[in-house]
Amino acid sequence: MSLIPTEIRDNPQRPGVQAQVYIPDQLIADARNLVTQPILLAAGVLKRGTILGQQTVSPVQVIPKPGNAGNGTVAPVTVGSAIETGGYALLATSATVFSVTNPEGVVLGDATVGTAFAHAEINLTITAGATAFAVGDGFTVNVFDVVGTYVECVRTASDGSQVPVAILVDDADAADGPVTAGAYVAGEFNASWLIYSPTWSLPALVSAMRPYGLFAKTSLSAASPSNNSAP
């Protein structure tokens, strides 16, 4: 996420006055009990107040080699029981065959374009595009440590992130890969300001968050009741 700085220059040529207005949102219901921690947001472009779940499966990121002749893709990619964190290198030795090397430099075998590559460390499929691959084309498949990685909480997920355990502190952009962000892991929040997947209903979400120290409250209006006049 990029920040836009406000310039405050020294020794102005003439006196001047600046005013900035801080307008807090209404996400926090009670600031006294807030607990935050740094997290790794694995994917998505998410807004402050988004409900997060922690993954129990290592997230992956596929990066094409700059200057690839072919425009094919690598997907899906899943991790195996012996997965290692770091970058897996896929290097084309022909238009249809890629050598697969793990982060320690060990060659795991050859992946044939259009055929699933299966290994105890990683599973993937390389799919050809409209332009054929050439010798020297490649991809890097980055595998990140699952500890501390979060995504938007979806109730129907099966990677551990279906459990609502945190709330995003600030807007974050992880569209191009994991980024460091902040999360509330305990506190009291305004339910109407929470952002959550449509797979959740608010009553179900409120109940699911409660065991993790996240309490969602319904806000009360200070406006006079419209039907409170005497007959």
Cα(127)–Cα(102) distance, rounded to whole angstroms? 20
Whether residue 117 has pLDDT greater than 70: yes
Q: Which pair of tokens denotes residue 151?
A: 């995504």
Residue-number span of the structural domain to which 195 is assigned:
28-56+146-217
pTM of the model: 0.61
229 found inside a domain:
no
Residue type for 201, please?
S
- Average of per-residue pLDDT across 193-210: 96
Alpha-carbon gap, residue 67 to 27, rounded angstroms: 45
Q: For residues 155 and 203, what is the distance between their CA atoms, to the nearest angstrom?
A: 13
Which of 60-64, 93-97, 113-117 has the weakest average pLDDT?
60-64
Range with the poorest average pLDDT among 90-99, 123-132, 170-179: 170-179
Q: Is residue 4 part of a domain?
A: no
In the predicted structure, residue 230 carries a pLDDT above the cut 50: no
How many domains does one find in the chain? 2
Give me the CATH number covering residue 52: 2.40.300.10
Can you give the pLDDT at residue 225?
53
